[in-house]
Amino acid sequence: MTAPKTCPSVMTFVILAMTVAAVALVFGTKGYTHFIIALVALTTIVGVGLNVLLGLTGQVSLGHVGFYAIGAYVAGILTIKGLSFWLAFPVAGLVAGAIGALLALPALRVTGPYLAMVTIAFAFIVQHTTIEWKDLTGGQNGLMGLVPPQIGARIFAEKELALFATLLAGVSLYLFSRLANSAWGKAMVAVRDSETAARSIGLNPVSIKTAAFAISAVFAGLAGAIFAPLMMFVAPDSFPFSQSILFLLAVIVGGAGWVLGPVVGAIVTVMLPELLSHLAEYRLLFVGALLLVVLWIAPEGIIGTLARFLRRIDPAGAKAAPDFDLAQFLSGGIARHRLEVSGIGISFGGIKAASNVSFTAEPGRITSVIGPNGAGKTTVLNMIGGFYKPDAGHINLGDSELAGAAAWRISRAGIARTYQTTQLFGEMSVLDNVLVALRQGRLGNPLRGAASEEDRRAAEALLAFAGYHGAMAAPANSLPHVDRRLIEIARALATRPQVLLLDEPAAGLMKSDKVALSALIKRIADLGVAVILVEHDMALVMGISDHIVVLDAGSVIASGLPADIRRDPRVLKAYLGSGEMKARPRPAPWSGSQDAILTCLKLSAGYGAAPVLEDISFTVKPGEMVALLGANGAGKSTAMRAVTGLLRPVDGSIIVDDERVERMPAHRIAASGVALVPEGRQVFPELSVRDNILLGAYTRKDADREAELEVLLNRFPRLRDRLSSRAGLLSGGEQQMLAIARGLMAGPRILLLDEPSLGLSPAMINELFDVLAELRDDGVTILLVDQMAVLALSVADRGYVLESGRVVRDDTAVGLSGDPALEAAYLGRAEAAQ
């Protein structure tokens, strides 16, 4: 599903041409063909409505035949009662739209299959109401003698109705193309791609989705109003549940989200059964089978699949116009206010996640919130941002009280934020991501283009300011991590915030990117924005903060200037750990068997066309600990995925002991004794800690599980207390320990660790590397990938350095640590905190 990208004027021309062609066809043909054209047009109109719902807001409705029936009955009943069709027609659309808005109330509370069910239930209620409300609807036998529309003396027979339906279908397609390019359309896509992020740029998902439901219902109602005179008869059986499925099918077969999707889909789903009508009783069988064939060939819809071959992305990057005054844009001429947080607290299920947290964020200053994992930092951000409602306390921006207000209101009041895991609108272009935020939730005319020239200039300037230089037309989800961070910051700035909340913006960035990021954050503050930063990277925090607040277990334990915080003994104890981060090297250099446990020879792998790994070779010997080093995007994680079978196919060979595994699926490689502790922990959040650990031994037949579990719990005492709680409730550090324990439970011949320190507090990282050193000393064979290169090399025996998918150096850990060139390029001593 992709938002329409074709230039609107070309699209207008295409729609016009198709409409003219259909009109010409009506004039060139007779009775039955008119009828079929009318049915295709009506299906197109309903499809356009469904496309608003499915294509733009991503909601599935299996109940649209209900709106179609409502439109038909309203038009039928009113014309029979003597009202002119030309009045009954808009009334039918309005009634359907009003009921659509009403249905949105329950429908918006549910998602996925639950939403599907609500719409199905709606369709059945409509059907049974038409059956039982006999006085109005004629019951099962329906309404006879429907009055055809008339203009002057001209009575609308099927030819005129076909023309009318065709014109309306053309108008519908045109309106859709305008809507999709308007701020409303973009907002709908934004809500679909990330409802969370949509709220934090001031969009109210409830009103946007309700609008989508209502618009969608209006189209179905109008089509139904034409269906009634076309058929000259309506009955409950004219609107079977299967028709809902056919409508949805038309949109999916054509390509959801594409302007022309519904018309292509309507042609297929209406014409196919007609072409097969001579099959009589075998028709349904063939229709079902052929639809399956279409779905198999074009799973993204016909237009979507065609577009995949034609799609090209304009490579133009953002350029700030020299005369664009960003400071003026951001301040907007309003006086800046400070954000005062006083005494806020919240508990979940009796557990206090934050209590009595107070601090002030001054305009133009950087206020950092630090603390160990699980200290409640993100919880505090979520309360300020309006995602959690605090149980107590106040949040004031200037004079206005924001505690407990909805997220979109808080955004409009001037508080913007970014997320730990970036929340971009993935299917939208980079530029649109910023443009949609510029509106600050004010969407305006649904038929006007989303962006003025001025908006475009502002968006470009913001992207350039944030340091994004890639293609502005690229879909956001295709970009590397760093770029997504920068775009998210640009998008947050587009709402012209007084306060900017940044949640771990440096997580997963390499050194040079972090330097650029610190500079960016400083520049943002210099423009007068109050920045609140949650971050683990102490070098970054200490380097740029004006004020630091330290949280532990939900409470503020210290606050003050960086220099004071650095020396505060409580902070050292709770968070930073005792002094410098360090890891314990092996007491004596490693010597052991030279028969490798893991060998990769000339391994190449990648996603799609471009290889990420090219001809890399490395070995790990029994009992050895080897580090894979390199910048972001160098291919470290890809190598881990290739070795464990998560990434297939690969070229070259991967040998575990004497067995070649490069063609094996992941689960068999795991069974052969290769355990990966994946990046981001990836514990099973809904299972208990105990079940998580035990699943590690899934393929082992002989293991004494209870005894081994006991050994692991002795190694990870933190897990013992949490043994029966859900893994998803654990803090990041605990989850990391759990993931390692789970990996060890497999009794692996080799343990692979992918970025185990990512997102952990300094104290936690120290604890982690202590564990790794212990495991090494106990003789576990380890292959380690970690951003903390200095630490990694201090525990490892050997290392390989990757650059752009190739091994550029391999040496002993000591040898690599001493190499100044490498240090400069990848390691950066400063990252090991102060």
Range 684-713, binding another protein (CB under 8 A):
684-687, 691, 694-696, 698-699
User: Residue 255 in contact with residue 307, Cβ under 8 Å?
Assistant: yes
Helices (H), 673-746: 689-695, 705-715, 717-721, 732-745
Q: Give the other-Cβ count within 10 Å of 659's Cβ.
A: 11
Stretch that binds another protein, among 122-130, 364-372, 715-723, 758-766 (CB under 8 A): 122-130
Amino acid at 667: H
Residue listed under structure tokens 């108008």: 171
Stretch that binds another protein, among 10-18, 224-232, 349-357, 514-522 (CB under 8 A): 224-232
User: Residue 172 in contact with residue 45, Cβ under 8 Å?
Assistant: yes
Minimal distance, residue 422 CB to another protein, in Å: 13
Total residue length of the chain: 834
Minimal distance, residue 299 CB to another protein, in Å: 5
Residue 679 or 767: the one with the smaller Cβ distance to another protein is 679
Distance in angstroms (rounded) separating the CA atoms of residues 504 and 34: 62
Residue 330 or 689: the one with the smaller Cβ distance to another protein is 689
651 binds another protein (CB under 8 A): no
Residue 13 or 133: the one with the smaller Cβ distance to another protein is 133
DSSP 217-248: HHHHHHHHHHHHHHHT-B-GGGS-HHHHHHHH
Nearest to 716 by CA among 694, 736, 730, 687: 736
348 binds another protein (CB under 8 A): no
Residue listed under structure tokens 């301040």: 331
Residue 745 or 833: the one with the smaller Cβ distance to another protein is 745
Q: What does the buried/exposed string (b/e) look like for 664-687 if buried means 16 or more CB atoms within 10 Å of the residue's CB?
A: bebeebbebbbbbbbbebebeeee
User: Residue 506 in contact with residue 517, Cβ under 8 Å?
Assistant: yes
Minimal distance, residue 333 CB to another protein, in Å: 32
DSSP class of residue 597?
Answer: S
Stretch that binds another protein, among 229-237, 464-472, 480-488, 526-534 (CB under 8 A): 229-237
User: Residue 811 in contact with residue 618, Cβ under 8 Å?
Assistant: no
Can you tell me which of 10, 279, 316, 334 binds another protein, judged by CB under 8 A?
279
Task: Name residues contacting another protein, limited to 574-603 (CB under 8 A).
Answer: none
In sequence order, the 6+-apart residues with CB closer than 8 A to the CB of 253 are 264, 265, 268, 269, 291, 294, 295, 298, 301, 302
293 binds another protein (CB under 8 A): yes
Strand partners, 674: 750
Residue 414 or 678: the one with the smaller Cβ distance to another protein is 678
Can you tell me which of 645, 762, 799, 805 binds another protein, judged by CB under 8 A?
645
Minimal distance, residue 307 CB to another protein, in Å: 15
Task: Name residues contacting another protein, limited to 368-427 (CB under 8 A).
Answer: 378, 382, 387, 419
Task: Name residues contacting another protein, limited to 707-766 (CB under 8 A).
Answer: 726, 728-729, 742, 746
Nearest to 375 by CA among 560, 507, 535: 535
Stretch that binds another protein, among 128-136, 565-573, 756-764, 821-829 (CB under 8 A): 128-136
Can you tell me which of 7, 10, 132, 564 binds another protein, judged by CB under 8 A?
132
Task: Name residues contacting another protein, limited to 235-274 (CB under 8 A).
Answer: 235-238, 240-241, 243, 245, 248-249, 252-253, 274
Task: Name residues contacting another protein, limited to 180-199 (CB under 8 A).
Answer: 196
Minimal distance, residue 35 CB to another protein, in Å: 5
Residue 589 or 728: the one with the smaller Cβ distance to another protein is 728
Number of residues engaging another protein in binding (CB under 8 A): 108
Nearest to 42 by CA among 159, 170, 137, 141: 170
Residue 274 or 803: the one with the smaller Cβ distance to another protein is 274
Minimal distance, residue 446 CB to another protein, in Å: 26
Task: Name residues contacting another protein, limited to 13-32 (CB under 8 A).
Answer: 30-32
Nearest to 619 by CA among 640, 637, 645, 601: 601
Residue 281 or 323: the one with the smaller Cβ distance to another protein is 281
Distance in angstroms (rounded) separating the CA atoms of residues 129 and 151: 33
Can you tell me which of 15, 41, 75, 118 binds another protein, judged by CB under 8 A?
118
Question: Going residue by residue from 33 to 52, which x/- string records binding to another protein, judged by CB under 8 A?
Answer: --xx--x-------------
Task: Name residues contacting another protein, limited to 660-689 (CB under 8 A).
Answer: 665-668, 670-671, 675-676, 678, 682-687
Residue 222 or 581: the one with the smaller Cβ distance to another protein is 222
Phi and psi angles of residue 812, each rounded to the nearest 5 degrees, phi first? -70, 160
Strand partners, 552: 555
151 binds another protein (CB under 8 A): no
Residue 186 or 742: the one with the smaller Cβ distance to another protein is 742
Question: Going residue by residue from 60 to 99, which x/- string records binding to another protein, judged by CB under 8 A?
Answer: x---------------------------------------
In sequence order, the 6+-apart residues with CB closer than 8 A to the CB of 498 are 334, 336, 337, 339, 363, 397, 414, 415, 529, 530
Distance in angstroms (rounded) separating the CA atoms of residues 150 and 164: 12
Stretch that binds another protein, among 87-95, 389-397, 449-457, 644-652 (CB under 8 A): 644-652
Q: Give the other-Cβ count within 10 Å of 396's Cβ.
A: 16
